[in-house]
Amino acid sequence: MTTRDRMLGSAVVVLWGLNFLAIRAGLDHFPALFFAALRFAVLAIPVLIFVPRPRVPLRWLLLYGIGFGILQFAFLFTAMRTGMPTGLASLVLQTSAPFTVVLGALLLRERLRPRQLIGLAVASAGIAVIGADRMGEAALLPMLLTLAGGFGWALGNIGSRLATTATPGSEPPVNPLSLTLWMTVIPPVPLFVLSAMTEGPATGLRALTDLAAPTGPAALLGLAYLVTLGTVGGSGLWTYLMSRYPAGTVAPLSLLVPVVGIAAAWLVLDETPTAAQLVGAAVVIAGAFVTVSASASPPGMRRPARPEARGDESTEGMGEIARVTAVPGSVADSATPGGCDPVIGVGGRGSRRGRVG
C-alpha cells in the first residue's frame, strides 16, 4: 500500500472512530432501527435524483448495501441501544477484519502472505486483550449483536470489492464515491419496515417530531456527522481503497478504529481506559501496520499491453490477456490490447470474461 493510501486509510480510521460518538448521540433520542434507516434515507433521496447509477452488476451492489448498510448498522445500533458501551462497540465491530480476510480467501481466492497473517494475528491479539479487559461491561446479547454487525460489514466489503473489480467493460472505471452513494439507496426501506415491525410504526416518527427535547439537538448533529463524514467521507474512501487493494490488505485498517473510538469515549463520555486497554491498543496499531505494509506491489504497476489482436489472432490474444490478468489477490490488470474490452480476473481462480471488438 502506498504512503498516500495509508494516509487515506488513517483518515477513515479517525472518521469512523468518531462515528461512535455520533451514534451514541443519535441513539439517546431515536429508536435504533429507525435511526439506522434515517441516516441512509437522508442521502438516498438526493442520490436517486442527481447521481447516475454506477455501471456495476446489481447483485454486487445489493450485497454491498445489504451487508454494509442493513446488517452492520441494524445489529450495531440495536446492540448499543440495549447496553453495549460505546468504546467496546468500536472494538468488537472490528471483527469485520478477520471476517473479511476469511471471506476474501474463500470467495475471492485471495492469497495472503505470511507477514500479513502474522500482522493480523498480532492485531487480533491486541483486540483480545482489550476485549477481555472490558468483557464485564457488556451482557452477552449486545456482544453477539455487535459481532453480527462485524460479519455484515465483512459481507459489504466483499460486495464492494466485487462491484469495483468484476465489472467488465466499465469505461470509465467505477467511481468509488458514486458506488458508496448508491449503496445508501438500498438500506432505508428494509430498515424502516423492520423499525415499524419491531419498534412500533409511530415510535420513530414521534422522536422525529420531538427534536425540541434535550437530546434532540445532539441527535441531529450526530445524524449530520454520520451522513457527511461517516458515510460520504469515510465509506467513500474505504470503497476507494477496497477497489485498489486485496480485501485482506485493506480490512486490517479497521482494527485501528477502536483505538480512536475508545479514546473518544474516554474524553467525551468519561469511559476511562485501563492500562490493559492502552497496551492492547498499541498492539493493534503495530499489527495493523505490519499487515498493510506487507501488501503486494502497487496496483498502478501493470504489465505492458500485448500487441493488438486482429482477425484470426483474436482468440489467441484473449488467451494472452487472461494469462496476464490473473494476478492472485490483486485488482485486475486493465491494460488490454486495442479493440478488446478488459478481461476481469477475480482472485487466482475466479471467472474471466472477455470480448473481442
Q: Give CA–CA dist 44/174, Å, rounded.
A: 19
**Cβ within 8 Å of residue 214, ≥6 positions away:** none
Query: Which three cell numbers mark 352?
Result: 474471466
Q: Is 93 helix (H, G, I), strand (E, B) or coil?
A: helix
pTM higher than 0.75, yes or no?
A: no
Tens digit of pLDDT for each residue in 85-121? 898 888 888 888 788 878 888 888 878 778 878 888 8
Q: Give CA–CA dist 81/232, Å, rounded.
A: 24
| pLDDT(267) > 80 | yes
Q: Give CA–CA dist 280/166, Å, rounded.
A: 37
CB burial of residue 53 (10 Å; 0-12, 13-18, 19+): middle
Beta bridge partners of residue 352, listed in sequence order = 345
- Across residues 166-171, what is the average pLDDT? 54
What are residue 186's phi and psi, to 5 degrees? Answer: -80, -45
Q: Is 54 left (phi over 0), alpha (psi -120 to 50) or beta?
A: beta
Cα atoms in the 13 Å half-sphere on the side-chain side of 2: 9
Provide the mean pLDDT of the chain.
Answer: 79
Q: Is the peptide bond before 307 cis (omega within 30 degrees of 0)?
A: no
